[in-house]
Amino acid sequence: MILPHILGTRAIALARSGEGPRAVRDIEAWLNSEREDRAGPLELYYLNAGYAEALSAAGDVRRGLATADRAVEISRSVSNPCLMAHSLGLRARLRVLVHDANGSDRDLAEQRDLCSRYGIVAET
């Protein structure tokens, strides 16, 4: 099922263009359809990453951070270094917004390690 992947990616774009509340509504409508069990981890990763950004852009940073935690968990469960680097960067940005500099620093250190180990470049 590709829809959660698309919704998540679209939510990131909407959140970054000032339309976080719209993205939150779109994702929550899909979540209310109770089809999560029919989606794979990659799709759910992007859904959660997009939802986290959208929630934060809509002013609900704490819920966004909890959703970013889920994205990190999913990326670890599939052992995908690129997704792990992305989710750690996202969570680090959100942790700064809730004044968790130590948590942000830990996430960024792990992200740097992953980038160095696997030769990948993290989003800034």
Question: What residues does each domain of the chain span?
Answer: 3-118
Alpha helix stretches (DSSP H) within the chain: 3-16, 20-32, 41-57, 61-77, 81-97, 101-118
Average pLDDT over residues 97-108: 96
Q: What is the pTM of this model?
A: 0.93
Please identify, in words, the CATH class of the domain defined by 3-118: mainly alpha
Average pLDDT over residues 92-108: 96
Each residue's pLDDT tens digit, 30-70: 999 888 788 899 999 999 999 999 999 999 999 999 999 99
CA 89 to CA 85: how far, in whole Å?
6
- Counting other chains too, the contacts that 58-64 makes at CB distance below 8 Å and 24 or more residues apart are 58/15, 58/20, 58/21, 58/23, 58/24, 59/20, 60/24, 61/94, 61/97, 61/98, 62/98, 64/94
For helices 81-97 and 61-77, angle between their N-to-C axes, nearest 10 degrees: 160
CA 68 to CA 119: how far, in whole Å?
23
